[in-house]
Amino acid sequence: MANPGQKVVLITGCSSGIGLRMAVMLAKDEKQRYHVIATMRDLKRKDKLVEAAGDAYGKSLSLAVLDVCTDESVKQCIDGIKDRHVDVLINNAGIGLVGPVESISIAEMKSVFETNFFGVIRMIKEVMPDMKKRKGGHIIVVSSVMGLQGVVFNDVYAASKFAMEGFCECLAVQLLKFNVTMSMIEPGPVHTEFESKMIQDVRQKEFPGADADTVNYFKNVYLPSSVDIFETLGQTPDDIARCTKKVIEQGSSARFRNLTNPLYTPIVALKYADETGGLSVHAFYHMLFNLGPLMHVSMKAMQYLTCGCLRSRTISPN
């Protein structure tokens, strides 16, 4: 139970990665401003979180079962909170999907949307009425830079994030009238066990339904370039947690969109510099298919493209 003056922060997807680090960082806040309710589908996976939380576990951090893919689980979780009072909702739970679209079943696509899109909507619908009634609250969604700029072979994942960006952009306008703040956290690549395992899995995977050329481009062009991007531009879960904490501290003055990595600002800028879309599409084509062997050099060049004025518009970990 939260102490007087503490904000109740509910975070989804806390068994590992970004969600775990967010929960621990907020629970260990030096000023003890937060009581964190860290949720996960299966509490059997709580050990890493409990270990990382240390003395905060049972004090400023508590655990709850939550599956964002079922209405019943979402309602039961919120009903279990005193007065159903949530000051800050952090929608972090999400799943990835990468590969040639011809080899991805509709069922797999629906599964991604069930978590990344409808799961977030379930959470928002459950806590939003009380926030509007109280005329206060902060809804945070961990989106992705892929919700702003599509990336080849990430068609379905990017689509789920684009959908969430559009949904939240619409809702943010209405929520302002009720003094409720909506913020998007938009990381690029993040070094997590989830990402590493996904890359390893797809390297071994067969892709029935996709032609040989497409599979070759995916495995021998995209994947090596993707690994290089992760090594050059990748952030840590702690980086994202720090950015999120900063957004929470900003309260009602927090920005709607928050890119966590300034090195991605030029990529997003390409899209908005040309309303026809041709500039960004062709830039990505040349980076992948013409500059693939020189991707590392391309990444270094991108660092120089990111000038101080662009960095100032981005929430950096520091």
- H helical segments located in the chain: 17-27, 47-53, 71-79, 106-113, 119-134, 155-176, 193-204, 212-217, 223-233, 237-250, 265-273, 278-285, 295-305, 308-311
Query: CB under 8 Å to 125, separation ≥6 — which residues?
Result: none
Nearest 5°: CA angle at 285, between 275 and 213?
Answer: 135
Decide if 15 contacts 40 (C-beta within 8 A).
yes
1 labelled as ligand-binding?
no
84 labelled as ligand-binding?
no
DSSP 235: B
13 labelled as ligand-binding?
yes
197 labelled as ligand-binding?
no
315 labelled as ligand-binding?
no
23 labelled as ligand-binding?
yes
16 labelled as ligand-binding?
yes
Task: Confirm whether 157 is a catalytic residue.
Answer: yes
206 labelled as ligand-binding?
no
Residue 184, φ and ψ in degrees, nearest 5: -105, 135
128 labelled as ligand-binding?
no
| Residue of 157, 217, 222, 264 marked active site | 157
Q: Annotated binding site: which residue ranges?
A: 13-41, 67, 144, 161
Catalytic residue numbers? 157
Q: Annotated binding site for substrate: which residue ranges?
A: 144
Q: Annotated binding site for NADP(+): which residue ranges?
A: 13-41, 67, 161
